[in-house]
Structure 1
Amino acid sequence: MSPRDRRRDWSRLDESDVRVRPGRGTRPRTKRRPEHADAVTAMVVGKDRGRWTCALGGDPKQIVVAMRARELGRTPVVIGDNVDLVGDTSGKPDTLARIVRVADRTSVLRRTADDTDPFERVVVANASQLLIVVALADPPPRTGFIDRALVAAYAGGLEPVLCLTKSDLASPDEIIAAYADLALPVLVTRQDEEPEAIADQLHDQLTALIGHSGVGKSTLVNKLVPDADRETGVVSAVGKGRHTSVTAVALALPDGGWVIDTPGIRSFGLAHIEPDDIVAAFPEFVEAAEECPSGCGHLGPPEDPDCMLDTVVADGSASHGRLESLRRLLSSRAGIDESPREQVGE
């Protein structure tokens, strides 16, 4: 058949005569996912370059390295998460399991890079306590950072505990008095003593530690977990510590419980937290806050002249000190009355 005749033959064909082979991207995909009935539970205790270290059943002696299963997509997996594993969970060298499910979180410690950053970062999941580590000197304490850490704890469902280090260099009385109305547990330690009270507070709990570099956080962790071997550093002449903990990691306490050591924080943004999240941590003010005008930041006059929180103090249902503490936290969240250095936690 000549080329001319062939063209004439093709002209008589229609779409019913043409068989189109579907491309790979158009093939129908099932929405069904494997049930993984044989999965085992574990807690995430470390992460390094796309691999997660997990403790089977929360047992620090049964450690497994795992990767995120493809079906999870970009589901975030952070330290403290409870996950389901399949595959090789023997924990032998060069073996790799797969994380196929992440359980619902009971608490989250979140932060943003600053108060204008819309992207929130989950730092730790499922911690019952947040130990806020602050040095009384070298570097000096910054109440702006303490307030911001308290806001993050209250909003995330963690019980905050204030830990004041280096009491051999300065008195803790002023800081303790500043937070007396919050009924906030305050633990005081010094460099030449063992942190027995802190060990008791952390016993059988999952506790996250946060603090500036140089406040003695890694030194404290090394005392609580003798084989942790966390690197320690010195404070520079300008009052800033060198970052010694570079990755978050969960460490098993000798007598039960876990402590999650986080990298030294230079910024603690609260862009993701709403005022009502903070008020919820003060039950005596919740009902009155619901009567406030829409958009009320609960700061009181002149910012919020119609705020109803003052009525709770007026009728004797709450103390003036509690309201002042609440509004200090709200101001910290809003970035009001803070110097730039305090605001970013540097």
Structure 2
Amino acid sequence: MNRRTSDYDESDVRIRPSRRGSRPRSKDRPTHEDAVPGMVTAVDRGRYTVLMAAGVGGKGLPERVVLAMKARELGRKGIVVGDEVGLVGDTSGNPDGLARVVRVHPRRSVLRRSADDTDPVERVIVANADQLVIVSALANPEPRPRLIDRCLVAAYDAGLTPLLVLTKADLQDPGPFLANYAPLDVPHVVTSSASQDFEGLEALHERLHGRVSVFVGHSGVGKSTLVNGLVPDARRAIGIVNAVTGRGRHTSSSAVALRLPGGDGWVIDTPGVRSFGLAHVNLERIIVHFPDLEPGTALCPRGCSHDEEECALDAWVASGQAGPAGPSRLESLRRLLQARSGETD
């Protein structure tokens, strides 16, 4: 005969012993005061290659590369190339050892992009860089000015100094293309398609001296060729341009930081990109990089996008207060604003 629920009492309840034990979980986390500093130079499937300076982590230890994994207490916190981190565990550089990243130090700068202009999720590409090198071929494949504009917006938003590098100048005169960027005062370097263009490489090396520079560009523009010329031991794979589509083949699968010979700077090579979403960028941060136009925005109506009929910048420029280059500067500003909003793609 079945018993009613009301007939049960506590003696009928069986308590299953906990497998975790009775020890209460502590909210305290280890401080890892003994963590030693290093710089992330590569990321591959949850493993981080970290460069540690000589003498760090123990007397007499040389400069060395340490393989590490992320500690559980960091949770979902992302770690990217360029991050300065703290390590515990085996930091001797033993190829069979594995350290743990237990700390990510505050970033001085962050280069990021979104998948497209409607995606609010930011994807951090590189941390702690101070220069964005935008590489574009003048021919084979044809240059993509709108992608360059988007990279410029990303550089301004991240507080990085932009540098425009034009390759394959032996195939096309760079003058007309550079004229489009003259009002922006973007520094530039011109190189040929020859892998041993020493004159172009020397000029580029001078611009990289003492900096952490991120190289971006779509596939086939000669980015990896430049990196191999600057860092001969890099051995970055070089792709070819498809004769039908005019597009290059992706050869770099992940970002990697490479030190320039002599130790006077860093080059971070990134995979070729075909889009650069800017959904995360605040339009007002672009205006700051046009100090000759920014005062005129004070007369704009509230919420002005600076690319509409009511914008006060037109009258400001027409009055001559922005200087003789005002009209071309305003055109460049609006081109970047349109690049951010996706109207030019």
1:210 aligns with 2:216: yes
Q: How far apart are the structure 1 equivalents of 2:107 and 2:320? A: 38
Q: Secondary structure at the match of 1:86?
A: strand
Residues 103-118 of structure 1: matches in 2 within 5 Å? 103-118=105-120
1:184 is matched with: 186
Q: Secondary structure at the match of 1:284?
A: coil
Q: Secondary structure at the match of 1:67?
A: strand
Go from structure 1 to structure 2 and tell me whether the alpha carbon gap of 1:292 and 1:105 turns closer, same or farther (over 3 Å shift).
farther
Go from structure 1 to structure 2 and tell me whether the alpha carbon gap of 1:290 and 1:23 turns closer, same or farther (over 3 Å shift).
farther
TM-score by length of 2: 0.87
Which 10-residue stretch deviates more, 68-77 or 102-111?
A: 102-111
| Unmatched segments (≥5 aa) in structure 2 | 57-61
| Alpha-carbon offset, residue 323 of structure 1 | 1.7
Go from structure 1 to structure 2 and tell me whether the alpha carbon gap of 1:132 and 1:25 turns closer, same or farther (over 3 Å shift).
farther
1:329 aligns with 2:336: yes
Q: How far apart are the structure 2 equivalents of 1:123 and 1:37? A: 29
Q: Which deviations, in whole Å up to 9, do the C-alpha atoms of 1:54-81 show, x marking residues without a partner?
A: 1114999421111111110010000111
Q: How far apart are the structure 1 equivalents of 2:130 and 2:81? A: 13
Residues 110-189 of structure 1: matches in 2 within 5 Å? 110-189=112-191
Q: Which deviations, in whole Å up to 9, do the C-alpha atoms of 1:171-190 show, x marking residues without a partner?
A: 10012111111111010001
Q: Is the 8 A contact 1:155 1:273 kept in 2?
A: yes
Q: Is the 8 A contact 2:170 2:193 kept in 1?
A: yes
Go from structure 1 to structure 2 and tell me whether the alpha carbon gap of 1:69 and 1:296 turns closer, same or farther (over 3 Å shift).
same
| Alpha-carbon offset, residue 22 of structure 1 | 7.1
Q: How far apart are the structure 2 equivalents of 1:287 and 1:86? A: 51
Q: Is the 8 A contact 2:108 2:128 kept in 1?
A: yes
Go from structure 1 to structure 2 and tell me whether the alpha carbon gap of 1:124 and 1:18 turns closer, same or farther (over 3 Å shift).
same
| Alpha-carbon offset, residue 277 of structure 1 | 1.9
1:51 is matched with: 47
Q: How far apart are the structure 2 equivalents of 1:219 and 1:176? A: 22
Q: How far apart are the structure 2 equivalents of 1:144 and 1:161? A: 16
Q: Is the 8 A contact 1:284 1:312 kept in 2?
A: no
Q: Is the 8 A contact 1:43 1:57 kept in 2?
A: no
- What is the aligned counterpart of 1:68 among 64, 67, 70? 70
1:257 aligns with 2:265: yes
Aligned-residue identity in percent? 55
| Alpha-carbon offset, residue 283 of structure 1 | 2.8
Q: How far apart are the structure 2 equivalents of 1:235 and 1:57? A: 39
Q: Which deviations, in whole Å up to 9, do the C-alpha atoms of 1:197-233 show, x marking residues without a partner?
A: 0011111211000001000001110000001001111
1:277 aligns with 2:285: yes
2:321 is matched with: 316
2:239 is matched with: 233
Q: Secondary structure at the match of 2:43?
A: strand
Go from structure 1 to structure 2 and tell me whether the alpha carbon gap of 1:25 and 1:323 turns closer, same or farther (over 3 Å shift).
farther
Q: Secondary structure at the match of 2:68?
A: strand
TM-score by length of 1: 0.87
1:219 is matched with: 225
Q: Which deviations, in whole Å up to 9, do the C-alpha atoms of 1:280-316 show, x marking residues without a partner?
A: 22233444435533432111xxxx2222333542351
Q: How far apart are the structure 2 equivalents of 1:232 and 1:160? A: 24
Q: How far apart are the structure 1 equivalents of 2:105 and 2:136? A: 32
2:59 is matched with: none
Q: Which deviations, in whole Å up to 9, do the C-alpha atoms of 1:125-162 show, x marking residues without a partner?
A: 11110000000000011110110000000001110000
Q: Secondary structure at the match of 2:305?
A: coil
Q: Is the 8 A contact 2:53 2:63 kept in 1?
A: no
Q: Is the 8 A contact 1:106 1:157 kept in 2?
A: no
Q: How far apart are the structure 2 equivalents of 1:290 and 1:107? A: 28
Go from structure 1 to structure 2 and tell me whether the alpha carbon gap of 1:139 and 1:27 turns closer, same or farther (over 3 Å shift).
farther
Q: Is the 8 A contact 2:114 2:121 kept in 1?
A: yes
Go from structure 1 to structure 2 and tell me whether the alpha carbon gap of 1:26 and 1:191 turns closer, same or farther (over 3 Å shift).
farther
Q: How far apart are the structure 2 equivalents of 1:105 and 1:26? A: 41
- What is the aligned counterpart of 2:99 among 97, 100, 104? 97
Root-mean-square deviation (CA, aligned residues, Å) is 2.7
Go from structure 1 to structure 2 and tell me whether the alpha carbon gap of 1:56 and 1:312 turns closer, same or farther (over 3 Å shift).
farther
| Unmatched segments (≥5 aa) in structure 1 | none
Which 10-residue stretch deviates more, 240-249 or 306-315?
A: 306-315
Go from structure 1 to structure 2 and tell me whether the alpha carbon gap of 1:210 and 1:57 turns closer, same or farther (over 3 Å shift).
same
Q: How far apart are the structure 1 equivalents of 2:332 and 2:22? A: 59
Paired AA for residue 41 in structure 1: P
- Alignment length, in residue pairs? 326
- What is the aligned counterpart of 1:42 among 27, 38, 43? 38
